[in-house]
Structure 1
Amino acid sequence: MTERQTGRLYGVGLGPGDPSLVTVRAAELIGKADVVAYHSARHGRSIARSIAERYLAGGQIEEKLVYPVTVETTDHPGGYRGALDEFYEEAAARLAAHLDAGRDVVVLAEGDPLFYGSYQHMHKRLAHRYPTEVVPGVTSVSAAAARLGAPLVEAEEVLTIIPGTLPEEELTARIAATDSAVIMKLGRTFPAVRRALERAGRLEDAQYVERATMAGERTAPLAEVDPESVPYFSVAVLPSKVAQLSWTGQPITEPAPDADTEGDVVVVGTGPAGPLWLTPEARGALARATDLVGYTTYLDRVPARPGQVRHGSDNKVEAERAEFALDLARRGRRVAVVSSGDPGVFAMATAVLEAACADPYRSVPVRVLPGMTAAHAAASRAGAPLGHDYATISLSDRLKPWDVIAKRLRAAAEADLVLALYNPGSKSRTTQVGAARDLLLEYRAGDTPVVMARDVGGPTERIRTVRLADLDPTQVDMRTLLLIGSSQTQAVARDNGTEVVWTPRRYPE
């Protein structure tokens, strides 16, 4: 006896709503399927069936998969998720019965079957058991872009697809961190999405598309849309900025000093190295800026964006750089001052705020966005040496005399604090590390752990732990940060051959 053939399962994408956008392959399968299945709410109407109706052959078995709940509450013992899971299991069992009987089953899906589609719940339960084909469809994302006539991404831009059902804080972070975005599932989520766009500084860029390619289609600037009028079948779009410059043929140019546009300055902490250390808020501020100002080495870490002007300078002109940034903002520019690490820790925030508190810059809006500090990054690589109280001191004597530095080192040493030492040495400053080591040895044992962290997060990163007595100044340069333990700090070799440094949170009585 030959084994009976099962039917084939097809997940068929119908596109965004216009029946003429159904693919040829999808139309063929809908017309010859034994069973056509589609989801609907309890009112019984199915958008998927209405799109596919012209392709139905007649006489086919129709399986209407009616959701027990959509957005309302339920008394199901498993809650909303439990009710849906039970429904999907039952629906899959109904389709499996047809497949086992040798009937081919087409499951209709608006848009693309595997893009936020109901079909995917059938796919997860049945595709491993039966021959399956998925037919892609035009998504609402592509339809929205086409209706707006706005490219989504160009060149190296990043497109992010975001469900509007995320928490508002998460929405804000995702929007701030991307170049272009499409936010799905609006409806009741619209007020939170609008607030998130506004908080991320992207509301003015956002476009609204409702029922793209369907009857009742509407497009508008999102800021002008009445929240009460927004259905589920709508999306928010942040189109390509690169493409926007090229369509208008009007690259960003510097406004005249009396321009109505209000400029501002945001001091952005980029972390110790590279994009992995950049917060979403900082990433968004860098993308929004018309001008980037900073030490050239730090500016080079920020991707170049068309229309953005970069103003690099030497590392020793902080006051001049701050005034330059504030002056640009007075002329209507949106300025990001780029600072490594955290801008408030031995970095540019102080210089900008000092200038902003004096004439003629008192009215210029200034914000400071935090970043991962070099000390915290270095500590994470070593273990947890900053697990208890610690002090942060710069060994540079360019802006304060060595006597002050020595006094602070001595006070911290007497208090038995872990020390994070910034700016320990350079080609022109070669004595500070040795002097600090000798001073600390008056208060700390020679075997006190010292973490030497160089180029943390960078391509030449090197983390070593040495004894305080063995700290060699010739091995320390400007890219090195030193973490010097307290009397309680431990350096422990673990079974896997690694060594971790940590400072216990308890201090002995």
Structure 2
Amino acid sequence: MSDRHTPVTPGRLYGVGLGPGDPELMTLRAVRAIAEADVIAYHSARHGRSIARSIAAGHLRPDHLEEPLVYPVTTGTTDHPGGYQGAMEEFYEESAARLAAHLDAGRTVAVLAEGDPLFYGSYMHMHKRLADRYTTEVVPGVTSISAAAARLQTPLVEGEEVLTVLPGTLPEDELTARLAATDSAVVMKLGRTFPAVRRALEASGRLPEARYVERATMAGERTGLLADTDPESVPYFSVAVVPSRVGNPGAKPTGPGAVTVVGTGPAGPLWLTPESRRALADAEVLVGYTTYLDRVPVRPGQVRHGSDNKVEAERAEFALDLARRGKRVAVVSGGDPGVFAMATAVLEAAGQKEYEEVPVRVLPGVTAANAAAAAAGAPLGHDYATVSLSDRLKPWEVIAERLRAASAADLVLALYNPGSRSRTHQVGQARDLLAELRGADTPVVVARDVGGPEQSVRVLTLGTLDPAEVDMRTILLVGSSQTRVTERPDGTRLAWTPRRYPETATP
């Protein structure tokens, strides 16, 4: 007769989302998971009270085994040798071991979690330590975000708007950038972070839109304008909500009309700064060259005026006229608006008497030269000059003289507007001039459509540069005497200019 014990079938692990606080917002599946469980586990602070347990209290039975998982530290200090992180890691390991003992004994364990178990919840620390060893089911719950929007009775996002969820514990400048760049936002984990969150909302221009929700669906619920909220009264269980801008009159800045010249970088959304995104979202009217306007997402209620690339002065005056009539106008420019682009045209027009009261600001963008240099390596690693080869607004003699001067100074050259359908000779003339002054073996980066779907970046020499392969979507970076080219094992050729310049011998 064998005395071996029959193996025990391990129990099942549930991560049970309870919703935001109101027990009536628990799902039927959550109630059933609790009913199936032998062990009910929940996190709590040292005082022993658990919000999760209080939500589920009406569904707990006397025969349930309860496992309170008491945090060793919450907002206080710890003498653990590993600090706060070390104390928490040790706590999670010990908690997981306690639950594993129940599971190994064949008991089903339900870990209660406010909101959703895998959304900023403590359950996830148990899940990561146990789910690969035991049969596990996660029961989703209504999040505090959904509850807050419901209590505010305000849409969070509509159409193609983007919702960003942020922890208030992020650095303040990071919060500011992300709030500026998004359509709608929810900031979690307020409490002690509230003053920094409020400053970030103000710095990003979102404070007038922001709403405050405390303990949504729970006793003591409070809502209102975040700007009017007393920082001393804000608990951890509160959120800041920046709701949908669609049909929300408070979402748009107020005040007199203004013109903002926005640089979109060389190829669209990936190159936009958070500040530029905010300016484009805040504008009532967008004005620009049609190709650049097409890079900007269409927003409900926003008017767009596209035009040809050859009418910069008219475009600038049109934008200023709209602003003078009270409109907030964004003039969309490719690259950086101050580098051979729209900023100069707008500022020149703004100098006229009829526009002198119109506020104008310029927001920078990634330049074509910087984008091309990064794609090719680091050819602009030392001093460089930027020259436009277009002779529409200045004579070729001036261009040639500047190329000679830059060569005499041994500067790397970034050559903009090298050619077009109607301008084909400039590239050849510039190539021949520079080859004579610098040598035919001087490295040249030929970068076309950088950041776009047709990106092509090649490292050639002046002697092998073919003008027929250069158009208006191309920028040329011509090396100095110090520029080097390195070929990588995969065949990639990288151009770079050392930061240290050789010392000049003195007599």
The TM tier, using the shorter chain, reads over 0.9
Alpha-carbon displacement from aligned partner over 1:32-68 (angstroms, at most 9, x marks no partner): 4211111111122111111111111123211111111
Matched letter for residue 226 of structure 2: L
> 24-33 vs 173-182, which deviates more?
24-33
CA drift of 1:341 comes to: 0.4
> 413-422 vs 203-212, which deviates more?
203-212
Query: Equivalent of 1:108, from 64, 88, 112?
Result: 112
- CA–CA distance in 1 between the matches of 2:183 and 2:374? 30
What does 1:106-505 align with in structure 2 at a 5 Å threshold? 106-242=110-246, 244=248, 261-505=255-499
Change (3 A) 1:354 1:181: same
SS of 2:246's equivalent in the other structure is helix
- CA–CA distance in 1 between the matches of 2:99 and 2:457? 59
CA drift of 1:243 comes to: 5.5
Does residue 56 of the first structure (1) align with residue 60 of the second (2)? yes
CA drift of 1:501 comes to: 1.4
CA drift of 1:29 comes to: 2.2
Matched letter for residue 167 of structure 1: P
SS of 1:241's equivalent in the other structure is coil
- CA–CA distance in 2 between the matches of 1:170 and 1:458? 27
Match for residue 31 of structure 2? 27
Matched letter for residue 73 of structure 1: T
Is 1:448–1:487's contact at 8 Å kept on the other side of the alignment? yes
CA drift of 1:264 comes to: 2.1
- CA–CA distance in 2 between the matches of 1:18 and 1:193? 27
Match for residue 22 of structure 2? 18
Alpha-carbon displacement from aligned partner over 1:316-343 (angstroms, at most 9, x marks no partner): 2222222222222222222111110011
Alpha-carbon displacement from aligned partner over 1:199-254 (angstroms, at most 9, x marks no partner): 21221221111111111111112222122221111111122223648xx9xx99xx
Alpha-carbon displacement from aligned partner over 1:95-149 (angstroms, at most 9, x marks no partner): 1111122211111100000000011111111111111111110000111111111
CA drift of 1:305 comes to: 0.5
Aligned residue pairs, count = 499
SS of 1:262's equivalent in the other structure is coil
- Could you list the structure 1 runs, at least 4 aligned residues long, displaced by more than 6 angstroms after superposition: none
| Gap regions ≥5 residues in structure 1 | none
- Identity among equivalent positions (%) equals 76
Match for residue 86 of structure 2? 82
SS of 1:492's equivalent in the other structure is strand
- CA–CA distance in 2 between the matches of 1:228 and 1:328? 44
- CA–CA distance in 2 between the matches of 1:331 and 1:16? 47
Is 1:455–1:461's contact at 8 Å kept on the other side of the alignment? yes
Matched letter for residue 445 of structure 2: V
- CA–CA distance in 2 between the matches of 1:441 and 1:474? 17
- CA–CA distance in 2 between the matches of 1:22 and 1:61? 21
CA drift of 1:299 comes to: 0.4
Is 1:445–1:487's contact at 8 Å kept on the other side of the alignment? no
CA drift of 1:10 comes to: 0.9
Is 2:167–2:187's contact at 8 Å kept on the other side of the alignment? yes
CA drift of 1:309 comes to: 0.6
Matched letter for residue 171 of structure 1: L
Match for residue 67 of structure 1? 71
Match for residue 4 of structure 1? 8
Matched letter for residue 43 of structure 2: H
CA drift of 1:21 comes to: 0.6
Is 2:194–2:234's contact at 8 Å kept on the other side of the alignment? yes
CA drift of 1:466 comes to: 2.1
SS of 2:355's equivalent in the other structure is coil
- CA–CA distance in 1 between the matches of 2:44 and 2:351? 61
SS of 1:130's equivalent in the other structure is coil
SS of 1:328's equivalent in the other structure is helix
Is 2:182–2:278's contact at 8 Å kept on the other side of the alignment? yes
Alpha-carbon displacement from aligned partner over 1:249-297 (angstroms, at most 9, x marks no partner): xx99xx9xxxx83222221110101211112221122112111111111
- CA–CA distance in 2 between the matches of 1:219 and 1:328? 38
SS of 2:68's equivalent in the other structure is strand
SS of 2:354's equivalent in the other structure is coil
Is 1:154–1:243's contact at 8 Å kept on the other side of the alignment? no
SS of 2:436's equivalent in the other structure is coil
> 367-376 vs 457-466, which deviates more?
457-466
Is 1:177–1:284's contact at 8 Å kept on the other side of the alignment? yes
SS of 1:441's equivalent in the other structure is helix
- CA–CA distance in 1 between the matches of 2:319 and 2:138? 54
| Gap regions ≥5 residues in structure 2 | none
Q: CA RMSD in A?
A: 1.8
Matched letter for residue 182 of structure 2: T
- CA–CA distance in 2 between the matches of 1:470 and 1:32? 76
